[in-house]
Structure 1
Amino acid sequence: MKKPGKIDVIQLIQELDSMLISLLEELSPADWEARTISRDWNVKDISVHLLDGNLRTLSMLRDGYYGEKPEKVNSHSDLVSFLNGLNADWVRAAKRLSPRVIIDLLRLSGNEYFNFLASLAPDDKAGFPVAWAGENESKNWFHIAREYTEKWHHQQQIRLAIGSEKELLNEKWYLPYLDTSLRALPHHYKSVAGEENDLIKFSFNGETEKSWYLYYDGSWELLESATQATSCEVSIPDELAWRIFTRGIRQDEALANSEIKGKRELGLKFFDMLAVMA
């Protein structure tokens, strides 16, 4: 049995940002208004949300300036509500920005954002924990990997809206996204009663093919490899996995296009997992 190790995506973040800029520069006016699977946001809204991510990271974690601070946040749902409010306010204000201005600001802030992340010591304590993975304290390498998943899935939402989603499903880009997101599995399964030595295999099939495992020995543990017999096997098309983790697909649709073998109740839990603050 092999446990997953650290994730190093710092250089990929810079490349991913460059891909986003190139993509946005080619969009038509109609493309900018195209609807996405992200709530009520169009392509332009998601683009400015990505800009907000750059600017807030620099303001809070680089400069120590937090601006609006949450009040009366006593639970995960309180925090999500606060973040949703910040996101909605920003997107509403950015309606007045032109696509050209958005691209220029993304390019400028993206360079500063990358330089800041690259300056962080990977094993030092991160400014914010990866809450969707159940952590109250995280290392910088996991924080940076979480940032990668944010940039990956929002760019993928844009690409899906304009019919250009295949590129980010390439293993180079998608495997780090999956590897990071699946760190949430033990936290997500904590309320699931397993039997001693239960082993669940999660296989992702398509352009990127890879399997991960959950092993039960009093609690659930994520593994990269395992040799013993499985209690349950879940097979998911790779193009659907990211949509499951971001509430971008209905559970019944995801289930209808996936397969569960063995203890079905163990596999079903996978389909309401989140790897975002939602």
Structure 2
Amino acid sequence: MSANVCGTAPILAASLLRRVDAKLVELLRDLGPDEWDLPTLAPAWKVRDVAAHLLDTVLRKLSLVRDHCFVENPVIRSPQDVIDLVNRLNREGVTVYRRLSPPVLADMMESACLQSADFHESLDPFAHAVFNVSWAGESTSLNWFDTARELTERWHHQQQIRHAANRPGIMTPELYHPVLDCFVRGLPHAFCDIDALPGTAVQLEIAGDCGGTWLLKKHDSGWRFASSAEITPAARVIIPQEFAWRVFTKGIDRAEALAHSLLEGDHILGERIFHLTAIVG
């Protein structure tokens, strides 16, 4: 087993947002008129809808977190309330911004993304974030995790557009590995109801030059990532990197994902990895 395992160090991704969003603006300006109406992996969303969502969320984050502008104060009593709220806000944003012409949307995106990059780079990564990363089961999160979560949103929705328009992806180690590392941080929460003897370990490998190895270990207090690979896992899962982002964002059927992957050892433990959804809604 490789001695290098991921999952324990902070993901300092603020500077990567600027690079990913610059590629997004370039992509949007290059799309032809017909490509804006292509279907994507996101159910019921065309390319223009995904682009509208990306504009809406960056503007919403700046308004809420940077500018402290809260025009409503919803009551949140459960995780489902969070999902319902996010889904509603997403629908409302897409309804508005999908009406923009491609040039107008791209210009607004460029301006908003530059402001977003400046803002995230200004944050103390180890201070408490305004919003917690709910899909990782956290009640409070640090800025570095919230910013890494933001990177996963910007990266995977852009990848949906690239997939739909048959454009080259942005699967480079510098940009894609931090996205995968952030997605996988949701595994301890995904395993929270899986009982096992303390010391039981599950190993995930994402195959490819952007991937890595994560080792999840059961403790008396729950599942946590191990910092050492000197453990024999009860289950080992290998997912090719070209499918991994889709596995964790509802972009592929679970049965199809399993068919493209390798699962060794305890299948109940191994299959739980494919239940991880690292998005809200």
| TM-score normalised per structure 1 | 0.95
1:259 to 256, 262, 265: 262
- 2:141 counterpart of 1:138: yes
Which residue number corresponds to residue 97 of structure 1?
Answer: 100
Which residue number corresponds to residue 45 of structure 2?
Answer: 41
- 2:132 counterpart of 1:129: yes
Counterparts of 1:54-203 in structure 2 under 5 Å?
A: 54-71=58-75, 73-165=76-168, 167-203=169-205
Deviation at 1:208, TM superposition (A): 2.3
The separation in 1 between residues aligned to 2:165 and 2:98, in whole angstroms, is 20
SS at match of 1:90: helix
Which residue number corresponds to residue 23 of structure 1?
Answer: 27
Deviation at 1:217, TM superposition (A): 2.2
Query: Which amino acid counterpart does residue 8 of structure 1 have in structure 2?
Result: L
2:16 to 12, 15, 18: 12
List gaps (5 residues or longer) in structure 1.
none
Confirm or deny: 8 A CA contact 2:192 2:223 kept in the other structure.
Answer: yes
- 2:207 counterpart of 1:205: yes
Confirm or deny: 8 A CA contact 2:38 2:164 kept in the other structure.
Answer: yes
The separation in 2 between residues aligned to 1:236 and 1:225, in whole angstroms, is 21
Query: Which amino acid counterpart does residue 36 of structure 1 have in structure 2?
Result: T
Counterparts of 1:235-250 in structure 2 under 5 Å?
A: 235-250=238-253
The separation in 1 between residues aligned to 2:259 and 2:227, in whole angstroms, is 26
The separation in 2 between residues aligned to 1:176 and 1:141, in whole angstroms, is 12
Farther-moved stretch of structure 1 (133-142 vs 89-98): 89-98
Confirm or deny: 8 A CA contact 2:180 2:211 kept in the other structure.
Answer: no
The separation in 1 between residues aligned to 2:183 and 2:197, in whole angstroms, is 25
Query: Which amino acid counterpart does residue 210 of structure 1 have in structure 2?
Result: G
CA RMSD between the two structures = 1.5
Deviation at 1:57, TM superposition (A): 1.1
Deviations 1:231-267 (A, max 9, x none): 1100111111111111111111111111111111100
| TM-score normalised per structure 2 | 0.94
List gaps (5 residues or longer) in structure 2.
none
Deviations 1:42-99 (A, max 9, x none): 111111111111111111111111223324x321112111111111111112232100
Confirm or deny: 8 A CA contact 1:212 1:225 kept in the other structure.
Answer: no
Q: Which gives a bigger RCO, structure 1 or 2 (Cα 8 Å, sep 6+)?
A: 2
Deviation at 1:183, TM superposition (A): 0.8
Moved over 4 A (4+): none
1:216 to 210, 215, 218: 218
Instruction: Call closer, same or farther: CA 1:224–1:173 in 2, change over 3 Å.
Output: farther
SS at match of 1:96: coil
The separation in 2 between residues aligned to 1:14 and 1:264, in whole angstroms, is 40
Farther-moved stretch of structure 1 (129-138 vs 92-101): 92-101
Deviation at 1:225, TM superposition (A): 4.0
SS at match of 2:174: helix
